Amino acid sequence: MDIEDNRCLGGSSAKIFVKENLGKITDNYMIGHCVGRTEFGEVRKCLHKLSKAIRQVKILNVKYMNQKQRDHIVNEINMLFSIDHPNIEKIYEFYRDSKKIYIVTDFYKGLQLFDKIVEEEFFSEEDAAKIVK
Alpha-carbon gap, residue 88 to 73, rounded angstroms: 16
- Give me the domains of the chain, ranges plus CATH numbers: 7-132 (3.30.200.20)
Q: Which residues touch 19 (CB under 8 Å, ≥6 apart)? A: 1, 92, 93, 94
SS3 content of the chain, % helix, strand, coil (to 5): 30, 30, 40
Q: For 11, phi and psi rounded to 5 degrees?
A: 80, 30
Each residue's pLDDT expressed in tens, for the chain with a length of 133 residues? 333 333 334 444 444 445 678 889 999 999 999 998 888 899 999 999 999 999 999 999 988 888 888 888 888 778 877 887 777 778 888 898 888 989 998 887 655 555 666 666 666 777 666 655 5
pTM surpassing 0.85? no
